[in-house]
Amino acid sequence: MRCIAVIPARGGSKGVPRKNVRLLAGAPLVARTIAAARAASLVDAVYVSTDDAEIAAAARAAGADVIDRPAGISGDEASSESALLHALDVVEAAGGPVRALVFLQCTSPFTTSAEIDACAAAVLRDGAACAFTAAPDHGFLWGVDEAGDAHGLNHDHRAPRRRRQELPPQYRETGAVYAMDAAAFRAAGVRFCGPAKLVPVDTPPVEIDSLADFALVEALLGPEKASGAVPAGLKALVMDFDGVFTDDRVLVDQDGREAVFASRSDGMGIGLLRKATEIKLLILSKEPNPVVSARGRKLAIEVRQGIDDKLPELDRWLAQHGISRQETAYVGNDVNDLECMRAVGFPVAPGDARPEAKAVARWVTSAHGGKGALREVCEALIAAARTPA
**Sheet architecture: strand order including 236-239:** 302-304, 280-284, 236-239, 328-331, 346-349, 363-364
pLDDT at 277 over 90: yes
How much is the pLDDT for 228? 44
Which amino acid does the sequence have at 8?
P
Q: With beta carbons less than 8 A apart as the criterion, state whether 70 and 95 touch.
A: no
Domains and CATH numbers, the chain: 2-138+166-222 (3.90.550.10), 227-386 (3.40.50.1000)
Q: What pLDDT is recorded for position 26? A: 65
Q: Are strands 65-68 and 98-104 parallel, antiparallel or unpaired?
A: unpaired
Question: What string of H, E and C letters represents the secondary structure of the chain?
Answer: CEEEEEEECCCCCCCCCCHHHCEECCEEHHHHHHHHHHHCCCCCEEEEEECCHHHHHHHHHCCCEEEECCHHHCCCCCCHHHHHHHHHHHHHHHHCCEEEEEEECCCCCCCCHHHHHHHHHHHHCCCCCEEEEEEECCCCCEEECCCCCEEECCCCCCCCCCCHHHCCCCEEEEEEEEEEEHHHHHHHCCCCCCCEEEEECCCCCCCCCCHHHHHHHHHHHCCCCHHHHCCCCCCEEEECCCCCCECCCCEECCCCCEECCECHHHHHHHHHHHHHCCCEEEEECCCCCHHHHHHHHHHCCEEECCCCCHHHHHHHHHHHHCCCHHHEEEECCCHHHHHHHHHCCEEEECCCCCHHHHHHCCEECCCCCCCCHHHHHHHHHHHHHHCCC
pLDDT tens column, 284-324: 999 888 899 999 999 999 999 999 999 999 999 999 999 99
pLDDT score at 225: 42
User: What span, in angstroms and rounded, lies between the C-alpha atoms of 5 and 178?
Assistant: 10
Instruction: Tell me the per-residue pLDDT of 187-241, one tens digit each, with 9 for 90 and over.
Output: 999 999 999 999 999 888 888 988 888 888 888 776 544 444 687 789 999 999 9
| Contact between 111 and 14 (Cβ < 8 Å) | no
What is the arithmetic mean of pLDDT over 150-168?
83
pLDDT in tens, 332-383: 999 899 989 988 888 999 999 988 888 788 888 889 999 999 999 999 999 8
pLDDT of residue 256: 81
**Residue 208 phi, psi dihedral angles, 5° rounding:** -90, 110
pLDDT at 178: 97
Instruction: Give the per-residue pLDDT at 150.
Output: 95
Q: According to the model, what pLDDT value does residue 389 have?
A: 53
Measured CA to CA, the distance from residue 347 to residue 374 in angstroms comes to 13
Nearest Cα to Cα of residue 360 among 20, 55, 14, 60: 60
Q: Which has more confidence, 257 or 6?
A: 6
Distance between CA atoms of 117 and 140, rounded to whole angstroms?
31
Report, as an integer, the average pLDDT of 52-81: 88
All residues at 6 or more sequence positions from 51 whose CB lies less than 8 Å from its CB, including other chains? 10, 11, 12, 68, 69, 70, 71, 74
pLDDT value at residue 196: 95
| pLDDT the model gives residue 387 | 65
**Partner residues linked to 98 by β-bridges:** 2
Q: How many percent of the chain have pLDDT more than 70?
A: 96
Query: What's the confidence (pLDDT) of residue 164?
Result: 73
Q: What is the mean pLDDT of residues 248-257?
A: 82
Does 78 have pLDDT greater than 60? yes
